[in-house]
Amino acid sequence: MGATDNQNSFLNRISIRRNQVVSMEGTHDQELEDLEHFQKHVADRFLDLLSPPEDYPSDPFLSIAWIRKLLDVFLCCEAEFKAVVLMGRDPTQITKPPLDRLVPEFLDRVVKALDICNAVSSGVESVRHFQKLAEIAVSALEQRPIGDGQVRRAKKALNSLVTAMAIEDKEGQTTKATERTWSFGRRTGVSAPNKDRAAGHFRALSWGMSKGWSSAKQIQAMSMNLVAPRGNETSSLVQPVYIMSTIMLFVMWILVTAVPCQERTGLMTHFQVPRNLVWAQSLIGLQDKIAEEWKKKEKKCAAGLLEELQKMEKLGQSLIEFADNFQFPAEAERLEEVAAQVAELAEICKRMEEGLLPLQQQIRELFHRAVRSRTEVLEVLDQGGKGTPPMM
Amino acid sequence: MDEATNTPKALKTPKALGTPKGNVTDPFENQKEDSEENKKQGQENADQKEEEKDSTGGEHSGPLEPVEIPEDPHPTLEKLSDDIERCISSLPTPNEKDENQQEEKENANDEAKDTKGDENDGKDTKDDKEEEDVKDEKGEKEEEKGEKDAKEGEKNDKEEKDVKDENKDDEKAADQDEKELGDKDAKDEKEAEKVVEKEKDLVPDELLKLIDKFLTWVDDICCEGRCRWGTVPQDDEVFLEAVDLMAKMRESLLSVCSMGLKFQERHGGLINRLSSIQHRAMAYLEEEFRILLEESKTESDHHHSTAADHNHNHNHNHNSNKDSSSGNKGKNDQESQPESESESNKEGVVEFPGFPEEVVSNLNKIATKMISAGYESECCEVYIISRRHAFDENLHKLGLEKHSIDDVQKMHWEALEREIMLWVKAFKQCSQFYFSGERQLAESVFPEPVLSEQTPIWSCLFSNLSRGVMIQLLNFAEGIAMSKRAAEKLFKTLDMYEAVKEMLPKIDELFPGECARELKTETTTVLNRLGEAAILIFCDLENSIKAETGRNPVPGGAVHPLTRYTMNYLRYACEYKETLELVFKEHTKIERSDSTSRPDGRDDYDASDTSFEIPDDESPFAVQLARVMDLLDSNLEGKAKLYKDVALSSIFMMNNGRYILQKIKGSPEINACMGDKWCRKRSTELRQYHKNYQRETWSRLLSFLSHEGLSNHGKVSKPVLKERFKSFNAMFDEIHKTQSTWVVSDEQLQSELRVSISAVVIPAYRSFLGRFSQTLDPGRQTEKYIKFQPEDIETYIDELFDGNPSTSIFRKKP
């Protein structure tokens, strides 16, 4: 990846130069240049995501592969950010106002981002279960001849799938709704001689976050006090701290919109990037696009904006419809139609099979990187001599 | 014999199966027939033939007439299955189909009918009940058969020849020991006959009816409330066999259908119904599987929660229990629970997740069946979701709650401390019992893969589950490790460190390959974070000592709170000495980079490091400890200077030095770290302070008692003597007044001080008094100048260092 190469040479350049320059005054021009580079790189990387180069085969917007690219971009920006802010710098620089306030605020955002990573990771876990359900439907509907048994099997799995997707989206009620489904299934299993007693309640998984945790609130909390630098501040360390905060917030926001995530009410209103920032234009473009998708989603009630999920839900609905109206023997024409849809669903499952695990690992990597960076910044803050508060 | 054993079982069967329409008398009659039939099956060929003719006539008349089906409540289920199986295995198998399909289609011709006829003749010579059945059908369904056979004919002809050849060989062999191997013969012959039958009829109508009846039965079981799985094991077996049979049916029917469109049209409906019932049976199994997983779980939790507290005691029994328990388990479950508490406790510990053996074996049966029927995904989903919930619930029962990392940063320490204790307990139990129990369960529920190079299903499921749990647990530790550093967090952080450290070597044996690798990395990362956090917290002690710059001297020269705090902290810390040693050894990276970044602090240590002569093999922890002690010393020296009175300053140093020494001697761990040499050096320093104090306070007083300068040419100068007494009295009073307010709380030090003071003052005073008291006039003069007897001096010395505000001795005196 081009970005990584750039970044390596960039890091080298910075460290070499910092080692050479001793006087604080002399570094200022260089610092300005670093800052500009940083902004430019950020702008370029997000532009690639918004409108990929023509000659380059691109992944569909908000697909798993696209999200993975987004995370790559984030990791690159993060590494460069550390280089700009930390490497070879005199610790006292980041302990002076207003950074003495801004940097701890930034670190606080990092902590919140960690929780989002975990929530999103369990969201991806849910998607993996969706995938399993879809796979059941695929394998049932791929069988020939298609009979009531195959159709019912597929329908059961698809109903579970669609229900699970809807539950995930019922903001804040994840646990309750799951619980209800569960006890319902169990009750009927024990007593009533119900014909459809085994009609299937795949219980959704609801692990991960604590009760009452809300991804939307977390995003909101991250965006608090996030104010674009003005005047002199634009040429100081305030700028990269602001940029990195914004990128982090933005990436977390996309993750939350893409996969099932606990409690997302008001997600769209909590995060606005000022429109006049040059480096943020692609970010703003992306955000508009996603907000548009989200509006559409509200009506469809999908589990997330992830391209694969949206397709999966659509196909799921359509196949349920097929199953509802199924009568043996199936018309050949209808079967062909269904076969095409099944093939499409199988393709999505394949993409999930290939992409979800690496995505999850990447999220975990992001998590560890964030923790590491936070520690490094804290060390610098410590060195900056904030002094340990007296113990008694 | 057969009747005796079969009848009760057969009697029970229909009831247990819960067929509501079951008629009490009819089944009984049928069972008689059934058992008769069973008997026949076991008998020799010759007999079999005849008897079966009878029985089949009786038996099969039921299924043939549709009216009777509802009234006839599957009395002869096994028979039904047998019949179907027999008929089915007489249908072409997929292999044969593959080989011959093409040919057969091309070569099908009218001659088939003739061949059929020939075959019938040939067949008649053989003894076979199946043949009989088929013949009956044939008679009724001549036309249909004709059509089928037309296609089958030629192929079967060939086949039959092959098979016959084989059979001839078999028979030859069988002839040799015919009598002895009667059973085997029967089998061989049966097989041969089955093959022969193929030619006759593809799907006999009889079979269709049997199948229909069979499916109705399965359908009923799946829909009606049947007994819970495991209550009537025979029924469960029958059901599982039925599932197999359905699979066979489907396979056979499909292969028949593949032979031509006609078959497809004719049997499509049946196949459809079959698939539907098959699905229903699978859905039923899935539900039973889930219920088994969930209901049996609640039962075992009781055991388990009481057992949890005992785990430490039973650690050693772990292995032996495992062996004994596997035998007892089933028994325990049926027998009453209150047997012996300890017994069940032990078992509970070992047996997490606490499924009785039969339940596990039932789960395994169902899982195996579902997987072989292609319902692996359903089975796995049910399993993973159930187990994940169970595991979560289990952790919840241990009091563990989910906290976001953000919350952990904001929580009050008291609350967090509780959470940490619960976490440590839960984490230890996970690494000791839960994961291994979970793994064992998964291993016993899911069958081994068919191909050895495949990843076993249990491994995927268990990996998935334990990864989720572990990451969730580790996230909390991560949250703690990154929370704001505070001295009081050291011990809980170390508790967590120990728990995680304990887990690390177990990971490889607990988790399967890829999962183990990932979890090892994750666990190591968390361990490092906790270790680094512990070091940073411990090193913060240095900063705290440096930051303690109060300018107010402690009244009376008593032990400074800083000394108390530091020493108590170190004493507690040294209860974790081994862990701290380890932490410092393995995670000093940060510490080092820290110290180089503080060049100002470093200088101090260099000086002190050499003075302590820390050997090369000394642990970094001991170095750190020495560094803390040294910092404390220099801080105290600074504080000692805050006293204007040099003597008080010495008392302050003695008090603190004594306190430090006592604490160190009181804790073998620190003592070992600091070494005897250090203690000796300390004691020497203390003696020096003692001497300083004596000199400062008492040498001037003693100078008044000097015999010198009092006598002039042998004559004592009275005014000088009076002045000496006056000065002595005043000064002693002053010293008493001041130093009674001083504090020496260490009793031994206090008495040492008093004894040493008395030892110099009293003899001098006594001798002075003895030599010069008579110089003064007795009466008023003596009274005025000699205020103290040596005994009084001793009493007053004993009042020193009590920390009591005292007034002048003279004012006190009446």
Q: Of the candidates A121, A198, A371, which has its C-beta nearest B482's C-beta?
A: A371
Query: Could you give the CA distance from residue A45 to residue A283 in angstroms, rounded to a whole number?
Result: 10
Q: Of the candidates B275, B382, B525, which has its C-beta nearest A147's C-beta?
A: B275
Q: Of the candidates A152, A189, A211, which has its C-beta nearest B276's C-beta?
A: A152
Write down how long chain A is: 392
CA-nearest of B741, B608, B736 to B681 is B608
Write down how long chain B is: 814
Residue B191 near residue B128, CB atoms below 8 Å: no
Are A392 and B403 an interchain contact pair (Cβ–Cβ within 8 Å)?
A: no
* Helical packing angle, B205-223 and B233-257, nearest 10°: 140
Please give the residue of chain A at the shortest CA–CA distance from B285.
Answer: A198
A180 within domain boundaries: yes
B661 within domain boundaries: yes
Please give the residue of chain A at the shortest CA–CA distance from B375.
Answer: A136
Position B211 scores a pLDDT of 79
B690 within domain boundaries: yes
> Closest approach of chain B CAs to the CA of A4, in angstroms?
24
Same-domain pairing of B721 and B690: no
Position B475 scores a pLDDT of 95
Q: What share of chain B is helix, strand, coil (3-state, %, to 5)?
A: 80, 0, 20
Tokens in use for B223? 């829909």
Tokens in use for A192? 């009533």
Amino acid symbol at A332: A
**B814: burial class by Cβ within 10 Å (0-12, 13-18, 19+)?**
exposed
DSSP string, B320-372: HHHHHHHHHHHHHHHS-TTS-HHHHHHHHHHHTT---HHHHHHHHHHHHHHHH
**Chain B (251-270) residues lying within 8 Å, Cβ to Cβ, of chain A:** 254, 257, 264, 268-269
Please give the residue of chain B at the shortest CA–CA distance from A135.
Answer: B377
Helix H or strand E encompassing B113: helix B112-124
Residue A293 has pLDDT above 50, yes or no: yes
Tokens in use for A104? 């701890």
Non-local CB neighbours of B273 within 8 Å, separated by 6+ positions: A147, A148, B212, B215
Please give the residue of chain A at the shortest CA–CA distance from B528.
Answer: A372
Mutate to test the interface with A, among B215, B274, B406 (most CBs of A within 10 A): B406
Same-domain pairing of B681 and B568: yes
Distances B57 to A23, B40, B45, B61, B74 between C-alpha atoms, Å:
110, 14, 18, 6, 17
Position A353 scores a pLDDT of 96
A325 within domain boundaries: yes
B608 within domain boundaries: yes
Answer with the one of B25, B50, B82 that is the final residue of a domain: B82
**A50-71: average pLDDT:** 88
Helix H or strand E encompassing B716: strand B715-716
Are A145 and B268 an interchain contact pair (Cβ–Cβ within 8 Å)?
A: yes
A62 within domain boundaries: no
Residue A154 near residue A320, CB atoms below 8 Å: no
Q: How many domains does chain B have?
A: 3
CA-nearest of A78, A79, A80, A69 to A46 is A69
Three-class SS of residue A278? coil
Same-domain pairing of B575 and B688: yes
Q: Mapped to the 3 state alphabet, what secondary structure does B481-531 carry?
A: HCCCCCHHHHHHHHHHHHHHHHHHHHHHHHCCHHHHHHHHHHHHHHHHHHH
Same-domain pairing of B778 and B756: yes
- The values of phi and psi at residue B341, to 5°, are -55, -50
B483 within domain boundaries: no
A243 within domain boundaries: yes
Query: Could you give the CA distance from residue A99 to residue A91 in angstroms, rounded to a whole number?
Result: 11
Report the phi/psi class of residue A231: left, alpha or beta, with left for phi > 0 and alpha for psi in -120 to 50.
left
What pLDDT, in 10s, does the model give residues B161-176?
Answer: 444 444 444 444 444 4
- Does the CB of B274 have a partner CB in chain A at under 8 Å? yes
Q: How many domains does chain A have?
A: 1
**B135-142: average pLDDT:** 40
Are A139 and B291 an interchain contact pair (Cβ–Cβ within 8 Å)?
A: no
B179 within domain boundaries: no
Are A383 and B597 an interchain contact pair (Cβ–Cβ within 8 Å)?
A: yes
CA-nearest of B341, B209, B217 to B284 is B217
B801 within domain boundaries: yes
Same-domain pairing of B653 and B599: yes
What pLDDT, in 10s, does the model give residues B757-805?
Answer: 999 999 999 999 888 888 888 888 888 888 888 999 999 999 999 888 7
**B384: burial class by Cβ within 10 Å (0-12, 13-18, 19+)?**
buried
Query: Could you give the CA distance from residue A343 to residue A326 in angstroms, rounded to a whole number?
Result: 19
DSSP string, A197-228: TTS--PPPP--SSPTT--HHHHHHHHHTT---
What pLDDT, in 10s, does the model give residues B481-501?
Answer: 999 988 889 999 999 999 999
What pLDDT, in 10s, does the model give residues B49-97?
Answer: 444 333 333 333 333 333 333 444 444 566 777 777 777 666 655 454 4
- Size of the A and B interface in Cβ pairs below 8 Å: 153
**Chain B (293-312) residues lying within 8 Å, Cβ to Cβ, of chain A:** 294
Q: Which chain B residues touch A221 with a CB distance below 8 Å?
A: 406
> Closest approach of chain B CAs to the CA of A227, in angstroms?
22
Query: Could you give the CA distance from residue A378 to residue A372 in angstroms, rounded to a whole number?
Result: 10
Report the phi/psi class of residue A212: left, alpha or beta, with left for phi > 0 and alpha for psi in -120 to 50.
left
Q: Which residue has the tokens 């019938």?
A: B120
Higher pLDDT, A205 or B206: B206
Cα B748 to chain center, whole Å? 52
Same-domain pairing of B570 and B666: yes
pLDDT, chain B, mean: 72
Q: Which residue has the tokens 């292999």?
A: B95
CA-nearest of B748, B745, B701, B749 to B725 is B701
Residue B21 has pLDDT above 50, yes or no: no
Are A391 and B378 an interchain contact pair (Cβ–Cβ within 8 Å)?
A: no
Q: Which residue has the tokens 């303690």?
A: B548
Mutate to test the interface with B, among A86, A111, A331 (most CBs of B within 10 A): A111
Please give the residue of chain A at the shortest CA–CA distance from B382.
Answer: A202
ipTM rounded to 2 decimals: 0.87
Query: Could you give the CA distance from residue B460 to residue B242 in angstroms, rounded to a whole number?
Result: 29
Mutate to test the interface with A, among B385, B393, B598 (most CBs of A within 10 A): B385
Position A26 scores a pLDDT of 52
Three-class SS of residue B711? strand
What pLDDT, in 10s, does the model give residues B561-607?
Answer: 999 999 999 988 888 989 999 999 888 754 443 333 333 333 333 33
Tokens in use for B153? 């004919």
Three-class SS of residue B449? coil
Residue A2 has pLDDT above 60, yes or no: no
Tokens in use for B46? 């010759």
Tokens in use for A105? 């605020």
> Closest approach of chain A CAs to the CA of B739, in angstroms?
29
Query: Could you give the CA distance from residue A312 to residue A323 in angstroms, rounded to a whole number?
Result: 16
Range in A384-388, B516-520, B693-697 the model is least confident about: A384-388
Mutate to test the interface with A, among B272, B391, B423, B546 (most CBs of A within 10 A): B272
A142 lies in which domain range? 102-188+195-373
B572 within domain boundaries: yes
Residue A88 has pLDDT above 90, yes or no: no
Position B630 scores a pLDDT of 92
Answer with the one of B675, B695, B715 that is the final residue of a domain: B695
Non-local CB neighbours of B295 within 8 Å, separated by 6+ positions: B228
Answer with the one of B695, B730, B758 that is the final residue of a domain: B695
B773 within domain boundaries: yes
Q: Of the candidates B273, B472, B482, which has its C-beta nearest A207's C-beta?
A: B472
> Closest approach of chain A CAs to the CA of B252, in angstroms?
14
Query: Could you give the CA distance from residue A355 to residue A361 in angstroms, rounded to a whole number?
Result: 10
Q: Which chain B residues touch A193 with a CB distance below 8 Å?
A: 223-225
> Closest approach of chain B CAs to the CA of A202, in angstroms?
7
* pTM of the complete model beyond 0.80: no
Query: Could you give the CA distance from residue B400 to residue B415 in angstroms, rounded to a whole number?
Result: 12
A69 within domain boundaries: no
B49 lies in which domain range? 2-82
Distances B245 to B17, B45, B253, B263 between C-alpha atoms, Å:
18, 25, 12, 20
